[in-house]
C-alpha cells in the first residue's frame, strides 16, 4: 500500500469496509473491530489519521506492534483472528493499516459477544443475525467458495459448474475440482453427466 492508496481510503471515508482511528485504542476495542470485520466481508482499520479533518496524526506504536496485535487477535477473539499489519511512514509519523479478512469460521466473538459491522458502526449482533452468520459447514476443511456454494445449494436446491464459475470467477477445472471435493466429502451429490451435471446437498443442514 502506498500514499495514494491511503488517500483513496480517506476519500472513501468510513463505512462498511473501512474504520479510522486517530490513535491505537484499547485491546478490547481492537478486538471488537476485528470480530466485526471478520463477521462481515472483511475490511481495513487505519490508525494515525484524522479522517474528519484529513490530518496526519501518527500512531504511537513500537516495533513489536504486529506481534502485540497478533496476541490480541488470539487472546481476545474466538475463534482467533490473524490480521495483516502494514506500517507506512510519512513525515516521521506512522500510519498503521490493519487488513482483516472475512472469516471462515463465523460467528466470531469477543468477550462472548458477537459483533457485526453495520455501516460505520461495529455493534452487537441480534440473535437472528448471529444465526444467519452461523455456517453449518464450518470446520469441514472447505474454502470460502465451497462454503458459499453449500449455502447456494441450500437456498437454490443445486449448483452447476457454470454457476460456480460465474459466482466465483474461477476456471472450469477449478470449479470441477472443488465441486467434486464436496461430493468426495459426502456433503454433496452429483446428478447427471457432462455439462448437465448438477450438485445437490447430501443432507439438509441443521440450523
Q: How confident is the model at residue 136 (pLDDT cuts 50, 70, 90)?
A: confident
Number of helices (H) and strands (E) in the chain: give both, helices first: 7, 11
pLDDT value of residue 47: 96
Q: pLDDT band for position 147 (50/70/90)? A: confident
Q: How far from 114 is each of 37, 57, 74, 99, 117, CA to CA, in Å?
A: 11, 31, 16, 19, 10
Residue 144 cell numbers, joined: 470460502
Q: Is the pLDDT assigned to residue 138 strictly greater than 80?
A: no
User: 161: pLDDT confidence band, cut at 50, 70 and 90?
Assistant: very high
Going from the N-terminus, what domains does the chain have, and what CATH number goes with each? Answer: 3-133 (3.30.950.30), 144-201 (1.10.10.10)
What contacts 8, CB < 8 A, 6 or more positions away? none
Residue-level pLDDT at 207: 52
Query: What is the per-residue pLDDT across 44-97, written as a single tens digit (0 to 9) for each?
Result: 999 999 988 888 999 988 889 999 999 999 999 999 999 999 999 988 899 999
Amino acid at each position: 500500500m502506498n500514499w495514494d492508496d491511503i488517500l483513496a481510503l480517506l476519500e472513501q471515508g468510513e463505512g462498511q469496509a473501512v474504520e479510522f482511528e486517530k490513535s491505537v485504542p484499547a485491546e478490547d476495542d481492537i478486538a471488537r473491530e476485528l470480530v466485526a470485520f471478520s463477521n462481515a466481508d472483511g475490511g481495513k482499520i487505519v490508525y494515525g489519521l484524522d479522517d474528519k479533518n484529513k490530518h496526519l496524526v501518527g500512531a504511537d506504536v513500537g516495533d513489536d506492534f504486529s506481534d502485540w496485535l497478533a496476541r490480541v487477535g488470539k487472546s481476545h477473539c474466538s475463534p482467533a483472528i490473524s490480521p495483516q499489519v502494514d506500517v507506512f511512514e510519512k513525515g516521521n509519523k506512522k500510519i498503521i493499516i490493519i487488513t482483516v479478512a472475512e472469516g471462515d469460521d463465523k460467528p466470531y466473538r469477543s468477550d462472548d459477544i458477537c459483533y457485526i459491522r453495520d455501516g460505520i458502526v461495529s455493534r452487537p449482533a441480534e440473535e437472528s443475525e448471529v444465526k444467519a452468520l452461523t455456517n453449518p459447514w464450518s470446520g469441514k476443511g472447505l474454502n470460502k467458495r465451497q462454503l458459499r456454494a453449500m449455502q447456494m445449494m441450500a437456498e437454490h436446491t443445486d449448483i452447476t459448474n457454470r454457476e460456480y464459475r460465474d459466482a466465483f470467477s474461477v476456471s472450469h477445472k477449478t470449479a470441477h475440482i472443488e465441486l467434486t471435493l464436496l461430493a468426495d466429502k459426502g456433503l454433496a451429490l452429483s446428478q447427471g453427466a457432462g455439462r448437465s451435471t448438477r450438485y445437490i446437498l447430501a443432507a439438509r443442514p441443521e440450523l
